């Protein structure tokens, strides 16, 4: 079945780095845009970034621009989020999400991986 599984979350100190991975299955990754969306504890959803089919187009939320890098490896059916200069306010559940451009909606979500930034 169509599935997204995130990994790589954990506890990191302020200023540190972390790389999230997302394994896609049940569909052809190269047929879809992909995105990362996060949710801080007890807070709402925040769109973080998205990447086009082959990675030619990439966009970031202002809150992470210059610190986060999204990438993909279609041959490995994988999506990544490299996070640098992490701050306490980056603490959140990070969801890997499929972005269907035909519906312009986030139609498939992973279960999320928890990132905690704390000293």
Partner 1 sequence: QSALTQPASVSGSPGQSITISCSGSSSDVGVYDYVSWYQQHPGKAPKLIIYHVANRPSGVSNRFSGSKSGNTASLTISGLQAEDEADYYCTSYTTSSLYVFGTGTKVTLL
Nearer to partner 1, 16 or 39 (CB): 39
- Dist CA 42 CA 108 (whole Å): 22
Q: Give the interface with partner 1 as residue ranges (CB under 8 A).
A: 35, 37, 44-47, 50, 59, 61-63, 95, 103-107, 109-112
Q: How far is the CB of 34 from partner 1 (least distance, A)?
A: 13
The CA-based diameter of the chain, rounded to the nearest angstrom, is 43
- Dist CA 90 CA 115 (whole Å): 8
Q: How far is the CB of 86 from partner 1 (least distance, A)?
A: 20
Nearer to partner 1, 17 or 97 (CB): 97
**Under DSSP, is residue 76 helix (H, G, I), strand (E, B) or coil?**
helix
- Dist CA 5 CA 20 (whole Å): 11
Q: How far is the CB of 88 from partner 1 (least distance, A)?
A: 20
Nearer to partner 1, 11 or 57 (CB): 57
Nearer to partner 1, 35 or 90 (CB): 35
Residue-level length of the chain: 119
Q: How far is the CB of 79 from partner 1 (least distance, A)?
A: 15
Name 32's Cβ contacts closer than 8 Å, sequence gap at least 6. 53, 98, 99, 100, 101
């Amino acid at each position: 079945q169509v599935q997204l599984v995130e990994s790589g979350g954990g506890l990191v100190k302020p200023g540190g780095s972390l790389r999230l991975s997302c394994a896609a299955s049940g569909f052809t990754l190269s047929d879809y845009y992909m995105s990362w969306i996060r949710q801080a504890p007890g807070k709402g959803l925040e769109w973080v970034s998205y990447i086009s089919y082959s990675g030619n187009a990439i966009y970031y939320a202002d809150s992470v621009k210059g610190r986060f890098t999204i990438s993909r490896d279609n041959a490995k059916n994988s999506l990544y989020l490299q996070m640098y200069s992490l701050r306490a306010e980056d603490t959140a559940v990070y969801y890997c999400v499929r972005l269907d451009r035909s519906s312009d909606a986030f139609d498939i979500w992973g279960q999320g991986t928890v990132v905690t930034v704390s000293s």
